Every structure is written in structure tokens, then in C-alpha cells.
Structure 1
Amino acid sequence: MDLLKEFKDYIKKEDLFQPKDKLLLAVSGGVDSVVLCELCKQAGYDFTIAHCNFQLRGEESERDEQFVRNLATTYNVEVFIKKFDTNKYVAETKAGVQEAARELRYSWFKEIINGASSFLYLVTAHHANDNIETVLMNFFKGTGISGLHGILPKHNKIIRPLLFATKDEIKAFAKENDLSFVEDSSNTSNKYTRNYFRNQLIPDLQKTFPQVEKNLIDNIERFKDVELLYQQSIDLHKKKLVEKKGNEFHIPVLKLLQSKPLATIIYEIIKDFGFSSQQVNEIIALLQSESGKYVQSSSYRIIKNRNWLIVSPNKTEEAGNILIEECDKRIVFQNGALEINKILNTQYSIINSQLTAQLDASEVQFPLLLRKWKQGDYFYPLGMKKKKKLSRFFIDQKLSLTDKEKVWVLESNKRIVWIVGLRIDDRFKIIPSTENVLQVNLISQ
């Protein structure tokens, strides 16, 4: 195999970069990154070296740093060196050692590229065997179809021009070109997940399936095409199902129920909002539930409201549909805040203000829904026994177009309780038999 020719052909085929682009090479000093340097040199590419010293292996880490400094001198290129207190970072973030090292190095690489406009790309020495390990780990972790394409040859400003080559081919090139490199002793330890796959699982598989490496490399290419087709289909479903409204996303329940495969489509929609695959069944159950039920992630809620699922930010000041639980005392929204108190009939005094709603608590069913009004909404204005559309009510109140756009309603079990700041619904007014009063105050911005 002519590795140099394959290297240049792969870069051209994948359109990774142009021959005159300036590259930043991530170099550990191991055989992979040393071969990457040599290939770039022989191909005539313009590159600079960057090396991370994570200070995890004592003298060996210092040896690697010095080796890379010498390598840069050999190639007559600039070198960036960064020492990290990785153990301190692990203690502070509670991350695993490998995860911490990855976060530290890519954050630093980004700083270099952003700080020096001459560098167009970061180049890493990931190869075909790295890709195999990544795909297998993703498969066993359950990352879905997107995890089966493995490491991409180009992602934003990161390029991996050695993904076509196996470890054995890289070693053979190093031997042919009499290249020196350093060995990382931690690569032999199976305490790291990747090393277990590399040193134990894959060699065991090769005993039964000698062609396992080649087959997996071929399959990775197929998985890329499968994912492309899969994503095209998912994008079509999202386009038909998900309607963006301000900071929210609305999904029609009946249309969603007719979509197949339901669980997969739901997962592909909700994962963008911080929901996990384990929550898919909760969302499916939500489709058949009553209004007001919801499922929550760290940043969003999915609320069932009549025939819609509403994906709404947990930060209520950003949301257009906000659920209010019985325990909530204060809710912030776009127009200000609602303060909610439950008081005994004998302990309240009548407040004649449009900014306060005093309601018969026995008629109010939680959770309440605070939302913007919409066409078709109606209520029974206080003192009237007939319903009136909000659009008609606004005309009677002589509200301007701008005023109408700012109107919110408070809803209980599909019934409007209060046109916030304007009028309560007659069905929820306080009567002589009222025992408890729900008092809601609007605190304007």
C-alpha cells in the first residue's frame, strides 16, 4: 500500500482541505501522530504542531513533551506546548480522566485556532481502528444510528485524514521511513474503556471472525449512507409534525399518533430538547393523557394541551405556555409575574382591581395553564351567563392591536379562569358558600 498516495487521495475524495491551507496538527508523539507529521511533510502541506502534556504519567509525560519539541525542530515547524493540571480538573468537574483530557485538549486547540486566523483546521491522527473502537463503544452504549457512523473525516474545523488507514498500515509506514516515536504506557491498561475494546474484545473477536476489522470498516461506510437516508426521513417527519411558535414547538397529537415508527420519531424530536431515550414511553403515554400532564427534561417541558404537545422552555419568562402547580407561589412570565395564594373565605377582603383575580378555589383544578390567548378562545365574563369570544370582548374593551398581542389567559381544565389583568370568568367567582379563595395577583413589569 502506498500510504502517501492513499493519504492525498483520501483528502481529495473527502474534500478535507486545500493543499495550501495552514494546518494545526495534534501530536502526542505516538506512532499515529508521528506518521501524520511525516505524511504532511512528504505531501508538502504547511503545518504547525500542538502537544498536550496532561502530567498524568510523571517522567513519561515530560519525555513525550521533549520528544515532540525535538520533532518540531526536525521538521522546522512551530510548536505549541500546553501543560494541564488534569487531576485538579478531574477533582473540580468530577469527570473521568479520559473525558477531562478530551475537554482540556479540544478547548485549548479551539483557543489556538480562534486566536490565530492563519490556522484553518485542526488535524488529528485518528485512524480506521480508532473508528472501529468508537463504533463498537457507541453500539454497546446505545447511541442510536447516529453513533454507528463513527468518527467523521471532517467536523467543523476538525479533520481526520488517516481514517482510511489501519494501525498496521501506519506502523508499516513508520518502519519503512525509519520514524522514531514514543509509546504511551497507559495504552496497555484495560482500565480505560477504549483500551479494553482495543486490547481484549477485538482480538477475541478476531479469533472467531478473522476478517472482523475489514468487515467493520466496510460496514462503517454503509452506516454513513444508512444514516444519511435515515436523517432525510426524520427531517421530513419533523417538517410535517413540528411547528415553531416563538420559543416553543407545537406538535399535533393525532398526526403524531399516525406516524410510524412512533417511538423512533418521538425520540428524534425530543432528543434536541434534552430528553433521553428512556423518556420516550412517558411521551407516548402523554399522547393519551388529559390536558395539563407533562414530562420534563433539564431545560424543557413537554405539555399535553388538548390535541397538542407543547415543547416549552423551563424558564417561564421565555415560554408561551406555562404550567402552574398547586405548590407554586410565584410564576414569572413575559408580562411580569403572578403571585398565587390560597386563603380562607373568612380571612380575605375584596379587592376591586383588574390586577387581582379572586376565585372560588373549589372550582379551580390544578395544574393551571398560563398561556397567550388565541383565536376561538371564549369565556363567561363576570356578571354574564352567556359565553363571549375573547376577540369580541377585546373590541368591547377597545383594546388596540398591540394590547391584544400582549393578552394572556389563565386556564383550568380547558376552561379560562381569568383574562389576566382584565376580567375573571363568572363560573369561578366567589359565592356565599365559598370556603377557600384562590387569589392571583399580577405584578406588572
Structure 2
Amino acid sequence: MDLLTGFTAYIEKEELFTRDHSMLLAVSGGVDSVVMAHLFRAAGFTFSIAHCNFQLRGEESLRDEAFVEDLAARLQVPFYKVRFDTLAHTTTHRVSIQVAARQLRYEWLEQTMVKTGCDFIVTAHHMQDSAETVLMNLSKGTGIAGLHGILPKQAYLVRPLLFAQKADLQAYADEHDISFVEDSSNITVKYTRNFFRHKVIPVIQEAYPGVVANIAGSIIRFREAEILYAQAVEKHIKRLVEQKGNMYMIPVLKLQKTIPMETVAWEIFRQYGCTPAQLPQVLELLQSSSGKLVETGSHRIIRDRQWLLVTRLAEEEEASVIVIEKDRTAVATANGLLRLKTGERKETAGIPTASNIACLDRHSLQYPLILRKWKQGDYFYPLGMRKKKKLSRFFIDQKLSLPQKEHTWVLESAKRVVWIVGLRIDDRFKITDQTKELLTIEWEAL
């Protein structure tokens, strides 16, 4: 089967688009995208050409831009171009050159697609690109989702050359006398993809000459296996994850009995920013005592009795109100952690005097307790005093700075302040000679 026939057959098989659609082709000037443009012309599709000049290779970048503009003129299709200050973007957004180029490219392509009334963006990724992606994902440890390689279609983005190998595209260019330009940056191996392209795959091909085609064949099966995998994982997540407001709760015992436990745990906790390196730490919480926690880039995962509680970092600060039920043993906030412990009062035991620990008469409290940010008008009866005091005046006496005030929490019971967290308890909830049961709360600032 010749390349053009394979091209149209693949588009139809994958249901990428129809002849009624208008396509925006991302063309760099290299053999892959130039051949793609010629295939679109030969197949009779409606398309425009778009080119990004990242201004990273001086005169060579200008040469590529002029070449693609001339190509569009020869093919008699609309042409759109843009020039980016890619290096400035890397500095401003603190990303690598590759990430900067990708961000700039797709953002502009999407804007151009909308502005020009095109239906899809088309890129020239081919079979080798997809095989490289699979090997890179395996090396990074992305899990089963990384095994599907580059997908033929994602929303408005389509890749109609994934059926073809690089050699097929080169042969088509030679056969039809199609000129193109070479990007000198494709030769260097300092970029990860180029390293796999020039160093890793050639070594594998020495043992398995058909490695690219073999991986491509496996990708088809991986894509179908991923569907089955996702369906099974979804069933486990529905069974194990319970949502209460902005908090997610996972029962420890149920998770421990789940088979396969580590795989299901990974699929649950990676949604909350957990990395592969952090997963063992999270699993250790299944054996830990209440109050232990693991903090990911976006969430805190806390062991609380028979549950793992998941809260978004700063979620409580945004909400400013956290409800604490009677059996809760740990509460995470954006700037600290509360550990709660109940127990009988022992006559011989001393009462902690540290400001970050509150020892309260449990029977004087009404549940649920409320943890919230202080507000103007709040007052309490400072320990040892019978006269009430506004919190704003108390803060002045304590010489708290504005940031310290802004990050101060108040524990409340039945609309009465129990504790200015980390500072002073209310006299009405102190331990007395009649106290039989204690609630001890420790504040650990983060």
C-alpha cells in the first residue's frame, strides 16, 4: 500500500476528520510536516498552513519561515506565521526551552484555529515519535497511561501520520521530488527526545530491527488495555473514596484488603499530587498512628483513626471553616496541623503549659467543634480572667504582626471561643477539680 492510500485509510479508520472539515497544519519545514502538507493536497482536503518561528537558531529560523511561506504559496493555501521570544518565555515562566516552545506553539495554534474558523490542528507526529514517547514514559515511570504513546486524536488535535515510519515519509519525498529543510537542533542529543532517537533506539534496533513497528503494534493493544484498566480503577475509586465537602476519605482497612493494593492506591493518590517516589510514604500511613501525614505538591494525606484524609493545601484557608466531629484525631490547615487526643484525667499527671497545647475539659465542649479564622468582634475569656476580652485587643497585647494575625485560627464550641490556637485557651473550658475527661489538642505550625 502506498503512503497516500495508507494516509486516507488511517484517517478513515481512526475517524480523525472528514472532507467537510477545515484543517490547520503545523508545518516546521522538515520532511515530516512538508510531506504531510503534500499528502493533504493530494488527498483533496481543505487546509491552511501555520508556522512558528521560535527565533532560537538565528538565520536558520528565518530560512525555515521563508521556506514554509513559499510552500503555502506553491500549494495555494492560506498561511499564518508567528515569531516568539522563546528565551524570554523560559526566563519569565522558569521552564525549559522545550517546554516553552511547546506552550507557545500550542497556545498560538489554538488561537489561530479559532480565529480562522478551522476545525482541527494537525501535527506531523509519526510512528517513531510515538515509539520514542512510550520508551520515554517507561523510563519516567508514568504507568499504563504512558504506554499508549501519542494518541491519533485528542479533542481538536489530530495526528494522521502515526501509521507511517520516518523512512516511508523520506521515501515519499524522494519519489515526488519534494524539497524540505533540515533543523540543525534535531542532531544534538542534549534534548531528551533526540537522545532516545539517536542513542537509545539505534542500540535496541541492533538486537530487534523491527522495534519501532513492534512497539507501534503493542501501542494498539495498550490503548485497548488502558480502557479496561480505567474501567476497573474507576470501580475501585467509587468503592474506596468518600467525599465530605472539600475533604476526601479513604478507609484504611478496605484499602489494605484491596487487590492489587499498590496499583489502586497509586491511581487514587496520584490524583492528589502524589509522585511515584512518595507512594511508599503514603502506604506507610496504613500502618501508622493517627496524626501522621504526607504532604504532596497539592494535598495533605493524613492518618486519622481508621481513615486516610485528603485535603488540598490551603483549602481550609480558602474555606476558613473546618468542622471537627467528635472522633476526629487530626486536622490539617494551610499553615499547621492540629492533633486531638481524648483521655481520662489522671490526678498525678501534670497539665502541659506550652502555648501550642490546649488541655480542655471535654464535657464542657459541644460537638461538632469549629475551626475557623478569627474575625473582628470575636471575644473570649482569657485563662485566669473572669472578664471578657476582644481578640483584636489581645493581639495588640501579644504584639502580633499583621501576617501573624491573618494566620491565626480560633477553635469554637457552640459559638463560644475555646482556644486561640497556639496562644491562649478560654477560661470557661479549663480543667477543674471536677474534670474527668480531657481533650488535649496540639498545634504544630508548618
Q: TM-score, normalised by structure 1?
A: 0.76
Q: State how far apart, in whole Å, the 2-side matches of 1:35 and 1:346 are.
A: 79
Q: Is the partner of 2:274 in helix, strand or coil?
A: coil
Q: Partner of 2:28 in structure 1?
A: 28
Q: Partner of 2:87 in structure 1?
A: 87
1:348 Cα deviation from its structure 2 partner? 4.8
1:248 Cα deviation from its structure 2 partner? 2.2
Q: Is the partner of 2:19 in helix, strand or coil?
A: coil
Cα deviation 1:367-412 (Å, max 9, x = unaligned): xxxxxxxxxxxxxxxxxxxxxxxxxxxxxxxxxxxxxxxxxx96xx
Q: State how far apart, in whole Å, the 2-side matches of 1:276 and 1:153 are.
A: 27
Question: Structure 2: which 5+ runs fail to align?
Answer: 324-330, 339-354, 358-368, 376-380, 393-409, 419-425
Q: Indicate the larger mover: 102-111 or 24-33.
A: 102-111
Contact 1:354–1:422 (Cα < 8 Å) also in 2: no
The within-5 A match list for 1:42-441 is 42-116=42-116, 118-315=117-314, 316=316, 317-318=318-319, 320=322, 322-323=331-332, 324-325=336-337, 336-338=372-374, 348-351=384-387, 419=413, 421-422=415-416, 429-431=430-432
Q: State how far apart, in whole Å, the 1-side matches of 2:389 and 2:382 are.
A: 20
Q: Partner of 2:363 in structure 1?
A: none
Cα deviation 1:195-239 (Å, max 9, x = unaligned): 121112211221222222221111222221222221111111111
Q: Percent identity?
A: 46
Cα deviation 1:313-365 (Å, max 9, x = unaligned): 22213375642537989xxx9985149xxxxx998523559999xxxxxxxxx
| Aligned partner letter, 1:239 | K
Q: State how far apart, in whole Å, the 1-side matches of 2:37 and 2:275 are.
A: 41
1:429 Cα deviation from its structure 2 partner? 2.1
1:123 Cα deviation from its structure 2 partner? 0.4
Contact 1:121–1:159 (Cα < 8 Å) also in 2: yes
Q: State how far apart, in whole Å, the 2-side matches of 1:300 and 1:236 are.
A: 23
Q: Is the partner of 2:232 in helix, strand or coil?
A: helix
Q: State how far apart, in whole Å, the 1-side matches of 2:128 and 2:382 are.
A: 76
| Aligned partner letter, 1:131 | S
Cα deviation 1:269-314 (Å, max 9, x = unaligned): 1111212111111211212222222221232212222222221122
* CA shift in 2, pair 1:54/1:422, >3 Å: same
Q: Is the partner of 1:278 in helix, strand or coil?
A: coil
RMSD after superposition: 3.4
Q: State how far apart, in whole Å, the 1-side matches of 2:32 and 2:74 are.
A: 17
Contact 2:322–2:372 (Cα < 8 Å) also in 1: no
Q: Is the partner of 1:189 in helix, strand or coil?
A: coil
1:194 Cα deviation from its structure 2 partner? 1.1
| Aligned partner letter, 1:156 | A
Question: Structure 1: which 5+ runs fail to align?
Answer: 340-344, 357-408, 411-417, 441-445
Q: Is the partner of 1:272 in helix, strand or coil?
A: helix
| Aligned partner letter, 1:166 | Q
| Aligned partner letter, 2:53 | N
Q: Indicate the larger mover: 232-241 or 295-304.
A: 295-304
Contact 1:355–1:422 (Cα < 8 Å) also in 2: no
Contact 2:4–2:43 (Cα < 8 Å) also in 1: yes
* CA shift in 2, pair 1:23/1:243, >3 Å: same
Q: Is the partner of 2:277 in helix, strand or coil?
A: helix
* CA shift in 2, pair 1:334/1:221, >3 Å: farther
| Aligned partner letter, 2:218 | N
Q: State how far apart, in whole Å, the 1-side matches of 2:391 and 2:441 are.
A: 11
Contact 1:55–1:85 (Cα < 8 Å) also in 2: yes
Q: Is the partner of 2:162 in helix, strand or coil?
A: coil
Q: State how far apart, in whole Å, the 2-side matches of 1:214 and 1:34 are.
A: 23
Q: State how far apart, in whole Å, the 1-side matches of 2:427 and 2:264 are.
A: 43
Q: TM-score, normalised by structure 2?
A: 0.76
Q: State how far apart, in whole Å, the 2-side matches of 1:210 and 1:88 are.
A: 42
Q: State how far apart, in whole Å, the 2-side matches of 1:314 and 1:291 are.
A: 19
Q: State how far apart, in whole Å, the 2-side matches of 1:15 and 1:242 are.
A: 36
| Aligned partner letter, 1:238 | I
Cα deviation 1:37-68 (Å, max 9, x = unaligned): 11111111111111010111111100000001
Contact 1:355–1:420 (Cα < 8 Å) also in 2: no
Contact 1:247–1:320 (Cα < 8 Å) also in 2: no
Contact 2:300–2:311 (Cα < 8 Å) also in 1: yes
Q: State how far apart, in whole Å, the 2-side matches of 1:34 and 1:134 are.
A: 22
1:247 Cα deviation from its structure 2 partner? 2.1
| Aligned partner letter, 1:226 | A
1:263 Cα deviation from its structure 2 partner? 1.6
* CA shift in 2, pair 1:23/1:328, >3 Å: farther
* CA shift in 2, pair 1:346/1:68, >3 Å: closer
Contact 1:273–1:300 (Cα < 8 Å) also in 2: yes
Q: Is the partner of 1:47 in helix, strand or coil?
A: strand
